[in-house]
Amino acid sequence: MEELKDIKGIIEVPDYSLWILLSIIACVVFCLIILIYFFKNRRKKRKKPTLKQIAMKNLKEINFDDTKSAVYTFCENFQYFIDEKNKESFEKLQKELEIFKYKKEIEKLSDKQRNRIKSMIKEIK
């Protein structure tokens, strides 16, 4: 037993495993929050308006002071909304409006034509 004289008393060993575990959990949670935020914002930015939405916006913003531009805008954008109900009336109105498209100098739209265009736009809402 003389050989066992070198055994010493119990000493305290520092244990930082709890702090390491908590810091890892905090980092993971922080990274998840950042990822969720970026994916959510990326999804919002990715939504592009459809052709129908763009056409509706253009129809609502028609400027009737410029006759040629108004007629072209109406004819180009209303085609996205043609169905069986308004097909015939659109074709009639389009034939009436053709004279405004191809002449160099044209007169203003009559109130009747302007009101028909506005009423057709209101019907598609």
CA distance 67 to 62: 10
Band of pLDDT at residue 109, cut at 50, 70 and 90: confident
Look up tokens 């015939």; give the residue: 88
Q: Are 124 and 81 in contact (CB under 8 A)?
A: yes
Phi-psi region of 103 (alpha: psi -120 to 50; beta: other; left: phi over 0): beta
pLDDT of residue 1 exceeding 60, the answer is no
CA distance 124 to 10: 87
Q: Are 98 and 90 in contact (CB under 8 A)?
A: no
Sequence spans of domains, the chain: 15-47, 51-123
Band of pLDDT at residue 26, cut at 50, 70 and 90: very high
Q: How many helices (H) and strands (E) does the chain have?
A: 5, 0
Q: Which residues contact 85 (CB under 8 A, 6 or more apart)?
A: 123
User: pTM of this prediction?
Assistant: 0.60
